[in-house]
Structures are given as structure tokens and as C-alpha cells.
Amino acid sequence: MENHPYHERSIVIGSFRRMIEFGNRWFILSRWIFPKNKNIFYRLEVMMIVITLICVGILLYIHTFPYYLALVICLILIQRVVEFLIVYSRNFIFNQGRIFSEFPEPEIRGQWLLLMFSLNIFQIILIFAIWYRFISLISPSAFTSALTTLDSFYFSIVTFLTVGFGDITPLTTLPKVLVITQSILTFYTVVIVINGLISLHFKK
């Protein structure tokens, strides 16, 4: 057998790498909005702030949207969660992301990444809150009680932090799947992303 690196021979690691690279090529929003790399990090920062504000607006007003429009928005928001997984997997598992290869000022790279990480986490909490709110609007019996905007945001934060007070409980399949997914994202965030941020700090 030829002496290839282990990651090239491993079925699991190789498949995961190919999946991440495929996702990076087709599902990363900034690659479609900003095809050129000029001022890419400033543009990414602006894009993240705008998307976060849009998510806040959606959460506050989704109850006023027509059903079909709210459903389309909820489906589109899946992309944000997928991008979170792809970007941080490339950066912290394979060390192939923009933050390692293209960031122009290494001395503030950690601070910039921390800002992006914070916005990403806030977006994820908002996105799951939007999903919980939408489910509650179309099926009030999906939870122990119908969720208000504040209830949805509160439940999303509690689920992401895996606190589990038990005052709001999912009763049907879809919200249970979302709760499981959000809890898994917490594990991913703690193990992969925070460990990567700490490693980046000590490398600096």
C-alpha cells in the first residue's frame, strides 16, 4: 500500500472532508454575494450584522406573514445553520478556512473571529426561535403552551445552553427533532469551535 497520509485513506475523514468542501463550494452565502475577495472580511462583517438584524425582524413579525411566506423563510434559514457547520469545520478541523489562509492582519484575527462567532451563535439562537415560533403558530399543541415571541427566544436560549428548566416542552415530532439538533449544535460549538478559538489564542 502506498504511503498516503491517514486522512487520505480514512473513509470517514475523507468523506467528511469531501462533504465539507462540496458544501463550501455551493452553500456558502458569501461566495455567491461576494465572488471576489476584495475587502471580503469587511463585507462578511457587514453581511453578518445585516442577517442578524433580519433574523430579529423575522422573529418579531413572523406572526404577521402569510403561511407560505413564513414557511419559505424558515426553509431558507436552514442555509445559515449549514454554513455555520461548514465554515467552522473548515477552519478548526481542517485548517483550510479563510481565517487561516487569507485574513490580512494576524494580530487581530482572533478578535475578528470571536466577533463572527458571537454573531453566528446569536443567529443560530434566533433561527431556532423563529422555527419554534412558526411551529407554535401553525400547531399550538406542538408545545405545552402556545409560544409567544419572547417564549420562543427564551426556549431557544435554554435549549442551546442545555439548561432544560422544563417549563416549555415539545410534544410533537418536529419540535423534538429541532431540540435534539440544537442540543447537538451546542456540543459541536463547545468541542470544535471554542477549542479552536482557544488554540488560535495560544498560537498567537
Q: Cα(131)–Cα(178) distance, rounded to whole angstroms? A: 8
Greatest alpha-carbon span in the chain: 62
One-letter amino acid at 78 equals I
What angle is formed at CA 74 by the lines to CA 73 and CA 75, rounded to 5 degrees?
90
Using the structure block, give the residue that is written with the C-alpha cell 429541532.
178
- Going residue by residue through the chain, which has 204 residues, state the pLDDT in tens, using 9 for 90 and above: 455 555 556 788 888 888 998 998 888 888 888 877 778 888 899 999 999 999 999 999 999 999 999 999 999 999 999 999 998 888 888 877 777 677 778 778 778 888 888 999 999 999 999 999 999 999 999 999 999 999 999 999 999 998 888 899 999 999 999 999 999 999 988 888 777 777 766 665
| Cell numbers for 157 | 436560549
Bridge partners (DSSP) of residue 170 are 143
Spell 54-89 as b/e; 16+ CB within 10 A means b: ebbebbeebeeeeeeebeebbeebeebbebbebbbb
Is there a contact between 48 and 84 (Cβ–Cβ < 8 Å)? no
- What's the whole-model pTM score? 0.90
134-173 pLDDT, tens digit per residue, is 999 999 999 999 999 999 999 999 999 988 888 999 999 9
First to last CA, the chain: 39
Predicted local confidence at residue 1, as pLDDT? 45
